[in-house]
Amino acid sequence: MEISNERIINISPIDDEYLCPICVHLLWKPVECQNCQRVFCKNCIDKCLKEKPNVCPLCQHYQEKRCSPLLYALLCKFKIVCENKHNGCDDILPYESLEKHQQEQCQYQMKICRGCQNNVLKKDLDQHEQKCGEITIECKRCKLVYKKRETHEQLDCVMNMLNQSNKKIESLEKLVENLQQNVQKLETSSNLHSLTGWPSSSVAHDVPLSSLVSSWNIIYDHPYSHVTTIADLRALISQCNKQIMVGAIQGSSSMILKIAAMGPLEILSLNSPLNQPTTFGNVNWYLTPSKSFGFAPSSTTINCSSADYDESDNTENRLSWHLQGDGGWRAGTAKSLNNNSEWRKIIMTMKN
C-alpha cells in the first residue's frame, strides 16, 4: 500500500526520515536495517530481498530489526486521504486507522458482482446483485441452479425432479449390479480350483496373475537376490487370510507365475526340522529356521543342506529360498538364483 505525498494533508513538506528510500512514499509498516539503520516499507524491502537475498539496497548487508516505537508514534500524527477518494470517499484517516478503513469499512471501494463479474461500489453492491440477471439461484424444491434472468416454471421444476428420480433409479440399478458381482466373487473365492484353474493341493506352472488379481493380493514381491529372513515370513501372517500362494516370476515385467503352490496360512508358522516337511494336500512344505523355505510334491523327498538341492525327481516342481545369508536358490529347474535379479519371489494371500 503506497501512500503518496499528495494524500497527506496536515504536514508539508515531509521530512525524508518518514519516506521510504525505495518507493519514496510515506513509510508503511516500517522495518529497519540493523547495519545502516535506514528504514524501509516492509513490502518494498521484501521485494528487494526476493531478488537479492540479504542485500540491503543502501549498505549491501541487510539484517532486519524492529523499528523504534517513537518512529511509529510520529507516523501516527499523519492524516491521510482515503485511496478511494476518486470513487467519492471524502474520509480523512489517521495513519493507524487507514488500513482497516480501506480494506473493510470504506463504502467506496470496488467489489466484484457474483453474477456479471463487473466492478461495483461496495455501497451499491447489494442493490446491484438484487437486479443482476447473471446471479445464480438454486431451486429449493428440485435443486436446479439457474440464472436470475432465466425462467423456472413449475413444469420445469417437475421435469427436473423426474430426471433426478430417474438418475437415482439408475444409480440403484448399478449398485445392485455391483452387489451381484461381489456375491459372485465371494462364491468364486470359496472354490480355489475354479478360481485358479488348478487343484489347490498341487504345484502349478505358468499361472497368469490376471486370473488371480480379483481375489488375491500380493503381499511379498522381491528379486531372488534379496535375502529373505524368517522374520520377514512371520511378519506376513498378520496380512494373510486363511490361504497363501507362494511362487516365482521370471522377468521384472512378467505377469506369469512360472511355478506356484497354495496352502493354508499355517505354512508361515512352520518350524520344520531339517528335511522333515509338513504335507498339505499333495505338497510338502518346509520352513526351517536359518536354512530355507519352500515346497516340493508330497511324493518326493526334501534334500536340504541349506536349500533344496535335490536332483533326483520332480525338479520342475520344487521351489526353495535361502533364509540366511543368500537369496533365493531355485524355481523349478532354474537353480543357483542366489544373486539373480530377474527372477522374483512372490507370496500372495486371498482377499477378505
- Please report the pLDDT score of residue 198 as a whole number: 52
- Please report the pLDDT score of residue 172 as a whole number: 81
- Please report the pLDDT score of residue 34 as a whole number: 94
Angle at CA 16, nearest 5°, toward 11 and 19? 80
- Please report the pLDDT score of residue 154 as a whole number: 65
- Beta-carbon count within 10 A of 255 CB: 12
- Please report the pLDDT score of residue 183 as a whole number: 59
**Enclosing H/E stretch for 207:** strand 203-208
Pairwise CA distance, residues 288 & 308, whole Å: 11
Pairwise CA distance, residues 321 & 164, whole Å: 59
Among the four given CATH numbers 3.40.50, 1.10.10, 3.30.40, 1.20.1630, the one describing domain 109-159: 3.30.40
Q: 5-99 and 109-159: same fold? A: yes
The cell numbers describing 278, all together, are 509338513
pLDDT in tens, 118-171: 999 999 999 999 999 898 888 877 777 878 777 777 667 777 777 777 788 888
Pairwise CA distance, residues 122 & 101, whole Å: 13
CATH class, domain 5-99, is alpha beta
Domain ranges of the chain: 5-99, 109-159, 203-350
- Sequence-separated contacts (24+) of 51-59 with Cβ below 8 Å: 57/21, 57/22, 58/21, 58/33, 59/33, 59/35
CB 47 within 8 A of CB 67: no
Backbone dihedral angles phi then psi of residue 152, each to the nearest 5 degrees: -140, 85
Considering only CA atoms, which of 310, 305, 284 is closest in space to residue 295? 284
What does the CA dihedral 120, 125, 127, 129 come to, rounded to 10 degrees?
90
CA gyration radius, the chain: 39
Which regions in the chain score pLDDT beneath 50? 184-196
Q: Where are the beta strands (DSSP E) in 62-159?
A: 64-66, 79-81, 92-94, 110-112, 119-121, 136-138, 145-147
Read off the DSSP letter of residue 239. Answer: G
Residue whose cell numbers read 536359518: 290
Distance from the Cα of residue 130 to its chain's centroid: 42
Question: 73 Cβ partners below 8 Å, 6+ apart?
Answer: none
- Please report the pLDDT score of residue 303 as a whole number: 87
- Please report the pLDDT score of residue 187 as a whole number: 45
Read off the DSSP letter of residue 343. Answer: E
